[in-house]
Amino acid sequence: MVKVGIPRALLYYRYHPMWQTFFTRLGAELVVSPPTTRATLLAGSARVVADTCLPVKVFLGHVIHLVNKCDFVFIPVLRSVRRRVYNCSKFLGLPDMTRAVIPECPPILEIEIDVNKGEDYLHQAIYELGRHFTPKKSLIKEAAQAAWEAHDDFRKVMHHAGVMLPEAMTGREGEIREASSNSSQAAIGLIGHPYLIHDEFINHRLIERLQATHSRVVTPEMVTPGELEVATARLGRDYWAYEEEVVGAGSYFLQGKVDGIIGIATFGCGPDSLMMDMVRREAARIKSVPFMSLTLEEHTADAGVLTRLEAFLDMIHRKKRKTLPCA
């Protein structure tokens, strides 16, 4: 059986159920790298210049982990998923960068997704990818349709049922739905890329720490596309597809949907700094929901994150207690 390596980083957090369905339908076995550790980061970091963004260093560390464990590594190039809106340039050069800095990397399976090039181009790209596993077009088409349905279900369970991304991926939805229905908890909106919010090593176990204070955490994936669309229009369009989603979620949470917002960005990321600034300025303008931004980098220490988090939560919980009817 052909083994396809999937680095647990970057777009993994957005598309894994889709990729998993596609490749397993075509008879491949998936090898997903384990959750990020300091060793993952150090391995990736050693191959690139210091000012490469933290998520890309982590991604490269995951690829290094997959060396000698699979026949191919899957690294898609997502140029554009919405017409005339493009992704961060780091996503476009990932296969080339990986080849250049990890020469021992197994052969890379690539697919370029660019909706601006039309449907025929997209179908051909999917066919070219599927041809590594079967020459039968009908099988590739069926796998692609099943993959799209898996992606759709994954997104819906998060934004319609309020399920967090890791649970939506592992199918522990019922448990979480119950846990999220306590309205006396402080609700904290976390905004940022899913590869920051859901990688516990990168974000210093932020979600776990918030939940330990009995806060309810909501993330951009839990906002419906309709709500995002309206909220994004309110704050203004961004220039990058995924950043627009994060800005839209920030704008949505700012309409009194949560008790506080934490924006997570990485040092040296242009799109992140612009995106967080848009939300921060809007938060300062309307003054109804406190906003804190956390900028993470390779050397960020637990203590620094913890101190800021405690001060922010203390303020949120005091404010929340004052507004409860029995307070």
Site for ligand SF4 in 191-250 (CB under 6 A): 193
Q: Minimum Å distance from CB 195 to ligand SF4?
A: 7
Residue 11 found at the interface with ligand SF4 (CB under 6 A): no
**Whose Cβ is closer to ligand SF4: residue 199's or residue 272's?**
272
Q: Does 260 interact with ligand SF4 (rule: CB under 6 A)?
A: no
Q: CA-CA distances (angstroms) from residue 7 to 18, 78, 102, 106, 177?
A: 14, 15, 13, 12, 29
Q: Which of 79, 90, 117, 317 binds ligand SF4 (CB under 6 A)?
A: 90
Task: Give the x-and-dash track for 156-195 against ligand SF4 (CB under 6 A).
Answer: -------------------------------------x--
Minimum CB distance to ligand SF4, residue 87 (Å): 8
Nearest distance from C-beta of residue 196 to ligand SF4, angstroms = 7
Which residues lie across from 260 on neighbouring strands? 188
- Nearest approach, Cβ of 109 to ligand SF4 (angstroms)? 20
* Other beta carbons less than 10 A from residue 324's beta carbon: 8
Give the span between the Cα atoms of 86 and 99, in whole angstroms.
Answer: 23
Q: Interface with ligand SF4 by CB under 6 A: which range of 51-59, 157-165, 172-180, 289-297?
A: 51-59
By C-alpha distance, which of 93, 84, 1 is closest to 48?
Answer: 93
Can you read off the two tokens belonging to residue 278?
């848009």
Q: What are phi and psi of 76, to 5 degrees?
A: -75, 155
Please report how close the Cβ of residue 90 comes to ligand SF4 at its closest, in angstroms. Answer: 4
Answer for which of 5, 17, 55, 220 binds ligand SF4 (CB under 6 A) is 55
Q: How many CA atoms lie within 13 A of 206 on its CB side?
A: 32
Q: Minimum distance from CB of 266 to ligand SF4 (Å)? A: 5
216 contacts 182 by C-beta, under 8 angstroms: yes
Options 111-119, 123-131, 199-207, 266-274: segment touching ligand SF4 (CB under 6 A) = 266-274
Q: Which residues of 211-232 are buried (b: 16+ CB within 10 A; e: fewer)?
A: beeebbbbbbbbbeeebbeebb
Q: What is the smallest separation between the CB atom of 278 and ligand SF4, expressed in angstroms?
A: 15
The stretch among 52-60, 120-128, 248-256, 277-285 that binds ligand SF4 (CB under 6 A) is 52-60
The interface mask with ligand SF4, positions 91-130, x = CB under 6 A, is ----------------------------------------
The least CB distance from residue 66 to ligand SF4, in Å, is: 19
Distance CA 161, CA 156 (A): 7
How many residues are recorded in the chain?
Answer: 327
Residue from the set 272, 298, 305, 316 that interacts with ligand SF4 by CB under 6 A: 272
Whether 251 contacts 279, CB under 8 Å: yes
If the CB atoms of residues 240 and 253 are measured against ligand SF4, the closer one turns out to be 240
Pick from 262, 269, 292, 296 the residue near ligand SF4 by CB under 6 A. Answer: 269
Contact 33, 6 (CB under 8 A): yes
Classify each residue of 127-160 as buried b or exposed e, where b means 16 or more C-beta atoms within 10 Å of its C-beta.
eebbeebeeeeeebeebbeebeebbeebbebbbe
Spatial CA neighbour of 214 closest among 183, 190, 173: 183
Residues at the contact surface with ligand SF4, assessed by CB under 6 A: 53, 55-56, 88, 90, 193, 266, 269, 271-272
